[in-house]
Amino acid sequence: MPKMVRFYQIGGPENLRLEDVPLPPPAEGEARLRVQAVGLNRAEALYMRGLYFEQPKLPSGIGYEAAGTVLAAGPGVDPSWIGKQISTIPGFSMAKYGVLGEEAIVPANSLAEYPPRLSPVEGAAIWMQYLTAYGALVMYGDIHAGDFVIIPAASSSVGLAAIQITKAQGATAIATTRTAKKRDQLLSLGTDHVIVTDDEDLVARVNSITGGKGSRIIFDPVAGPLVEKLAAAAAQGGVIFEYGGLSMQPTPFPIRIALPKALSIRGYTLHEIRRDPQRLKTAKQFVFDGLENGRLKPKIARTFPLTQATEAYKYLESNEQIGKIVITV
């Protein structure tokens, strides 16, 4: 039996257990993987605490992004997948298909090949971050040369992906971070500007950077009271994409700013792309091509072995990382 990471009660990473779990043969529409690496996401930290879109069914597995080799294909699945090196696209049920373990059963429609120039660790660090950023910035935001894009929580894996995509589209990336600790690294990783929100006036800095125009696109996972400042820093007709609620505080709608600016504040998740086959195909090709030509390159913050899954998720929740945390198997 393969070893899998599961938890038996709602709470933090201390509840994770590594144990032998029997896996059935893949059913219709499923595939079985030999897992080599698993990328960690904030979604899993929320999931284990009962704060995600989906509630765990205990005992529950965990994990969205696996890289590995297809061992078997269930009925109705193209057998040519067997033996291929793939990674999984998030958007399926973690309650049914947690991937953190030596092997995993996953929906076949989550399988995606990644460029062979990438290692399995890098392969486990691409789809959540790049597809999430691509959907808001390119597919819906249509960013282009001359645009300014504000990226709060920019040191996260999705934040760094947004910086890379913004730059690849010819726009200007404005990263924000709470403390000066990560400023130099964010600049070295390609952002054009860094605003340290604990020390600087966000609105004044954005106005200075943009010549008073403000930012047309804002890609925000924080929400809460920050939205008021982001709205003030937005351009006329701007759009704030809210793809998370890291502040864990109520998010007021800034009506007095939104009305005269004709400002849009839009909820957004990767699932919008995931459930539309044509949009997903287009997005996957954009990411694959960017990884192939080097315009997109995942930043790995740190790796942990499978036996240290608890430590890995504690590190994720510490917010100390810059880039993606990956568990190797």
pLDDT tens figures, 142-167: 999 999 999 999 999 999 999 999 99
Over range 187-204, report the average pLDDT: 96
Whole-number pLDDT of residue 291: 97
Percent of the chain residues past pLDDT 70, beyond the cut: 100
Whole-number pLDDT of residue 111: 97
Whole-number pLDDT of residue 168: 96
pTM of the model: 0.95
Which residues is 149 bridged to in the sheet?
173, 217
Confidence of residue 293 (pLDDT cuts 50, 70, 90): very high
Whole-number pLDDT of residue 180: 93
User: Mean pLDDT, the chain, as a whole number?
Assistant: 96
Whole-number pLDDT of residue 241: 98
Which residues is 300 bridged to in the sheet?
324
Do residues 274 and 89 make contact, with C-beta atoms less than 8 angstroms apart?
A: yes
Over range 245-265, report the average pLDDT: 95
Over range 259-272, report the average pLDDT: 96
Whether the predicted pLDDT of 53 surpasses 90: no
pLDDT tens figures, 3-22: 999 999 999 999 999 999 99
pLDDT tens figures, 96-148: 999 999 999 999 999 999 999 999 999 999 999 999 999 999 999 999 999 99
The full set of domains in the chain, from first to last, is 3-126+298-328 (3.90.180.10), 128-271 (3.40.50.720)
SS (H, E, C) the chain: CCEEEEECCCCCHHHEEEEECCCCCCCCCEEEEEEEEEECCHHHHHHHCCCCCCCCCCCEECCCEEEEEEEEECCCCCHHHCCCEEEECCCCCHHHHCCCECEEEEEHHHEEECCCCCCHHHHCCCHHHHHHHHHHHHHHCCCCCCCEEEECCCCCHHHHHHHHHHHHCCCEEEEEECCHHHHHHHHHCCCCEEEECCCCCHHHHHHHHHCCCCEEEEEECCCCCHHHHHHHHEEEEEEEEECCCCCCCCCCCCHHHHHHHCCEEEECCCHHHHCCHHHHHHHHHHHHHHHHHCCCCCCEEEEEEHHHHHHHHHHHHHCCCCCEEEEEC
Q: What torsion, rounded to 10 degrees, do the Cα atoms 109, 137, 287, 110 define?
A: -10
